[in-house]
Amino acid sequence: MRVWKNTPKDALLLGFSVAQLAVMLWLATTWNGASIPWRVASTAGVAVLISYNIIVVSHLFTHVPWFVSARLNAVVSLLNSINIGQSVQAYHLTHVRNHHRFNNDRIGEDGTTRDRSSTYRSGKDGEHSPLLRYAVSGALDSLVGCGREIFHVHRLWRIGDDEEILLSLASRREPRRGRELLQIRADRAAHCLSLVLFAAVSWQWALMSYLPAFFLALTMVNVQNYYRHYGADPGDRAADSVSHYSRLYNALTFNDGYHQEHHLSPGSHWSQLPAVRERFRARLDGRTRIVSPVPAMLGFLHIRRSLLHHGSAGGPR
């Protein structure tokens, strides 16, 4: 009987998901007797685990689910909704059906961007938003959104009429639409119940470690997305993203560095992204585009990056 939809290698991603939850629970149990340096280090470690899950694990899952069984995929969605502090199904809707449709577009005639995560959304005069504003304000908005979800326990976390974005992104066809909205409710319930569990194990850890780590992770994810697109040409589908081809980085992140290739073929499994690069090589090499020497999280170190959104010339860097 076939279990894995694409490859058994996805078991590595599942293993990370299970290990992350186990590590967070273990850290909660040891918090009260831990030293201050260990508390600081473990909080930073939790931030890294959450951000890695959002950037790599859950991101890949939202594009290409791991299992043939819809029920197993639903369980993974629950698990990683706990790990990333938000509904994985909602992440799928906002990321796959919004970001990958509008591809970090500029502000239009209506005064905003169609891509709600666009780096231009709060920018001026055709420029990207300032990094700190994009990263920190975006993290605060996400944190507030998660807080609202927690307080929706009185309506069993159903998607309310005030959440028109999710409602508009959900499938228009039944029964698929019903399944997607039900999964969001289940994801939210799993996340909220996990917070109750964390608080029961150690409310001090939940308040002084998990919450700051979650906010820091959201900020790191926004920095990652910012430099995945900073300076790229939003008007060119073969140059609207930034790739990074380090073998070590891509080995550790399941080819996350192939971001331009991912935008060209978002439905391709992570293992196929190098092949996508070869398939589109003529198109990619025929463009002036940005290839970063550093991972997106460290994009601020790429000080000679071309600004193609200015219409600048020159070869890829």
Are residue 129 and residue 249 in the same domain, yes or no? no
User: For residue range 230-272, what is the model confidence (pLDDT) as tens digits?
Assistant: 999 999 999 999 999 999 999 999 999 999 999 999 999 999 9
Count of Cβ atoms closer than 10 Å to residue 125 Cβ: 5
Residue 315: pLDDT over 50: no
The least confident of 10-24, 110-124, 140-154, 164-178 is 140-154
* Positive or negative: CA dihedral 298, 304, 309, 314: negative
Token pair of 101 as six digits = 């449709």
**Is residue 3 in some structural domain?**
no
Domain count, the chain: 2
Which of 214, 229, 244 terminates a domain? The answer is 229
Are residue 21 and residue 37 in the same domain, yes or no? yes
Q: What is the pTM of this model?
A: 0.95
Are residue 73 and residue 201 in the same domain, yes or no? yes
Are residue 173 and residue 240 in the same domain, yes or no? no
Are residue 68 and residue 99 in the same domain, yes or no? yes
User: For residue range 140-169, what is the model confidence (pLDDT) as tens digits?
Assistant: 999 998 888 777 776 667 787 768 999 999
Are residue 265 and residue 300 in the same domain, yes or no? yes
Which of 209, 229, 249 terminates a domain? The answer is 229
**Is residue 163 in some structural domain?**
yes
Which residues pair with residue 291 across a beta bridge? 243
User: For residue range 180-224, what is the model confidence (pLDDT) as tens digits?
Assistant: 999 999 999 999 999 999 999 999 999 999 999 999 999 999 999
For residue 288, give the 3-state DSSP assignment. coil
Cβ atoms of 74 and 186 within 8 Å: the answer is yes
Q: How far is it, in rounded angstroms, from Cα 217 to Cα 85?
A: 10
Side chain identity, residue 154: H
**Is residue 2 in some structural domain?**
no
Are residue 19 and residue 117 in the same domain, yes or no? yes
Q: How far is it, in rounded angstroms, from Cα 227 to Cα 52?
A: 16
Please tell me the predicted confidence (pLDDT) of residue 162: 67
Are residue 156 and residue 240 in the same domain, yes or no? no
Which of 194, 229, 264 terminates a domain? The answer is 229
Residue 316: pLDDT over 50: no
Count of Cβ atoms closer than 10 Å to residue 132 Cβ: 11
User: For residue range 127-141, what is the model confidence (pLDDT) as tens digits?
Assistant: 999 999 999 999 999
- Domain containing 304 equals 232-317
Are residue 243 and residue 261 in the same domain, yes or no? yes
Cβ atoms of 165 and 92 within 8 Å: the answer is no
